[in-house]
């Protein structure tokens, strides 16, 4: 039996044409069974997909300028699919640059004016898209990818650069957290199979796989990329990389004074009188919880 995938709507976002691992943003699919012979190396493709046109993106190679690639001149500035990180096959490109935003990746809650200003100060800016300037109300995300080709595989080694907004661990005010994260993806023309034996070398302190070995890449970062498919959406993996950088130890400033533990006043903005209360000197006052025991010991030895 063969599984045939057919989209519910007549149009499917063109950059989500991964037949095995559709993006989380893709419309739901209906499964239908037929008696056609199964051929895993050539997945079924609907004839409707031939009518689709490419979506603009910021993906470029080392031989082109840092500009958008337009599809038939169509303006999709308001499209929710704009800004997706899509890898396209290119035999001549060994390095690819992508530019998108936290909002376009579905991470708008991590974006704020603070993250945008910090990203601008660090030089993390989106390139101009032709005649249009990048949106100033979105936090940019830059992705640099090196492409290494093997027999039937493509390895993508890249780095994600952006700034996210978290809550300060001391005063609970917004804090900008810089993201510089490396990642590696393995695109295979053969279907991905679950390993029969799990490599426990990392847990046991044994490095069984070298740094440049494909076996070091996690099974979730290995994607099925058939030879007849020209592009694949890796936006989900970029989102996961940003999610991993969310920490509870973010601080707005290294000199942050935090909140008063008694009244909750933000000590960075104002001071409180809680710290001015007199603290009893040692040996004076009520004696604490051992007051009665101290009296008993004094009576016993007097």
Q: Cα angle at 199 between 195 and 203, to 5 degrees?
A: 150
Asked if residue 131 lies in contact with residue 147, where contact means CB atoms within 8 angstroms, the answer is no
Please give the C-alpha separations between residue 84 and each of 16, 81, 111, in angstroms, as whole numbers. 9, 6, 17
Tens digits of pLDDT across the chain (302 residues): 444 444 444 444 444 444 444 444 444 444 344 444 444 444 444 434 333 334 334 444 333 333 333 333 333 343 345 678 999 988 888 999 999 999 999 999 999 999 999 999 999 988 876 555 567 789 999 999 999 988 888 999 999 999 999 999 999 999 999 999 999 999 998 888 877 766 665 555 555 555 556 777 888 888 999 989 999 999 999 999 999 999 999 999 999 999 988 888 999 999 888 866 545 555 555 666 677 787 788 887 77
Give the separation between CA 57 and CA 82, rounded to whole angstroms: 7
Q: What is the pLDDT of residue 275?
A: 65
Give the separation between CA 150 and CA 217, rounded to whole angstroms: 15
Alpha helix segments (H runs only) across 141-189: none
Q: What is the pLDDT of residue 295?
A: 79
Give the separation between CA 92 and CA 103, rounded to whole angstroms: 31
* Residue for token pair 């991993």: 244
Q: What is the pLDDT of residue 262?
A: 86
Using only C-alpha atoms, what is the Rg of the chain?
28
Residue 210 DSSP SS3: coil
Beta-carbon contacts of 209 under 8 Å, excluding residues fewer than 6 positions away, are 199, 201, 215, 216
Enclosing H/E stretch for 157: strand 153-167
If you count them, how many residues does the chain have?
A: 302
Residue 39 carries which DSSP code?
Answer: -
Q: Is the pTM of this model over 0.85?
A: no
- Where do the structural domains in the chain lie, given as residue ranges? 55-196+204-244
């Amino acid at each position: 039996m063969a599984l045939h995938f057919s989209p519910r709507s007549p149009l499917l976002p063109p950059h989500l044409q991964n037949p095995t691992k559709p993006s989380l943003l893709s419309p739901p699919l209906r499964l239908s069974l037929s008696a056609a012979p199964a051929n895993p190396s050539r997945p079924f493709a609907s004839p409707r997909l031939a009518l689709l046109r490419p979506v603009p993106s910021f993906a470029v190679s080392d031989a082109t300028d840092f500009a958008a690639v337009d599809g038939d001149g169509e303006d999709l500035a308001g499209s929710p699919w704009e800004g997706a990180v899509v890898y396209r096959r290119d035999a001549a490109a060994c390095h690819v640059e992508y530019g998108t935003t936290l909002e376009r990746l579905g991470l708008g809650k991590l974006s704020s004016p603070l993250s945008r200003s910090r990203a601008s100060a660090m030089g993390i800016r989106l390139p101009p898209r032709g005649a249009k300037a990048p949106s100033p109300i979105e936090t940019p995300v830059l992705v640099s990818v090196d492409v290494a080709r093997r027999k039937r595989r493509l390895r993508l080694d890249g780095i994600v650069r952006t700034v996210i907004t978290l809550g300060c661990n001391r005063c609970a005010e917004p804090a900008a957290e810089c993201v510089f994260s490396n990642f590696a993806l393995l695109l295979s023309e053969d279907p991905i199979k679950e390993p029969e034996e799990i490599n426990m070398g990392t847990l046991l302190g044994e490095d069984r796989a070298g740094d440049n070995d494909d076996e070091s890449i996690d099974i979730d970062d290995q994607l099925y990329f058939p030879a007849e498919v020209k592009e694949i959406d890796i936006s989900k993996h970029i989102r996961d990389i940003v999610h991993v950088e969310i920490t509870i130890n973010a601080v707005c400033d290294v000199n942050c004074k935090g909140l008063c533990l008694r009244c909750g006043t933000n000590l960075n903005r104002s001071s409180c009188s809680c710290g001015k209360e007199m603290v009893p000197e040692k040996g004076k006052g009520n004696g604490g919880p051992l007051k009665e025991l101290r009296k008993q010991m004094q009576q016993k030895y007097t």
